[in-house]
Amino acid sequence: MTPKDTDRRSEILDAAAELFAHKGVASTTVREIGESVGIYAGAIYHYFPSKDAIVRELITGYLETLNAEYAAKAPRRLAPRARLRAVVEVSLRTADEKPHATQVYQDQLRNVRDLPEYRRAKALADEVQRIWLETIEDGKAAGVFRADISSKVFHRFLRDAIWLSIKWRHSGDPYTTEELVQDCIAIFLDGFAVRRARRTRPPAPPR
């Protein structure tokens, strides 16, 4: 039976991602990964040098595609609001297509970001953040985003809301990614309050 040959590797990667996402990296054993692919644990070490190498490849791969997508779909030439929308859309779509890797990334990066083996992952994560902040700052400079709220705070709120959406979206959901993007932009840019008159602080006091 050799319908898939070099596929074993990615089969292991997928199975590991699912298990890691579902019950955490630390409490997933190499034996479980093997079991869910239908091989013994020892065979896994034919494809990967260690359990941690699997985790690392998952995280790095995820961040690479994310960055590539940002570059392709959210170039700087877009107007800030459109670019932010594109960034949000790419983030949500990637989370939707690779939910397991996304989750592993969130759960793990904080614990390992200072380890030398993860230097590349950290660099990629920094680049992701750079793009977000650049988009927000450009929008402020253009006068379309509020200058009275810290870019970092806004970035973190928005990023966390997006990243965590994978935890509550389940596959059989009729709520599409497109709708989610729509609602996300609606809430974060225009607010959840019904618009009657000006309600709170005046926009962008000069300072």
Contacting positions for DNA (CB under 7 A):
1-2, 5-6, 8, 28-31, 34, 38-43, 45-46, 49-52
Shortest Cβ 129–DNA spacing (Å): 29
Whether the CB-CB separation of 136 and 145 falls below 8 Å is answered with yes
List the single partner that 40 binds among a second copy, DNA, none, CB under 5 to 8 Å by kind.
Answer: DNA
User: Is there binding between residue 115 and a second copy (CB under 8 A)?
Assistant: no
Stretch of residues binding a second copy (CB under 8 A), selected from 6-14, 49-57, 118-126, 193-201: 193-201
Stretch that binds a second copy, among 6-14, 31-39, 121-129, 175-183 (CB under 8 A): 175-183
| 81 binds a second copy per the rule CB under 8 A | yes
Q: What is the rounded distance in angstroms from the CA atom of residue 163 to the CA atom of residue 138?
A: 23
Region of residue 149 (phi > 0: left; psi between -120 and 50: alpha; otherwise: beta): beta
Is 183 a residue that touches a second copy (CB under 8 A)? yes
- How many angstroms separate the CA atoms of 38 and 61, rounded? 24
Q: Which of 198, 205, 206, 207 binds a second copy (CB under 8 A)?
A: 198
* Residue that has been written with the tokens 């806004």 in this structure: 154
* Cα-based angle 191, 195, 199 (whole degrees, multiple of 5): 85
Decide: 180 and 165 in contact? Cβ < 8 Å: yes
Query: Which residue lies nearer to DNA by CB, 30 or 149?
Result: 30
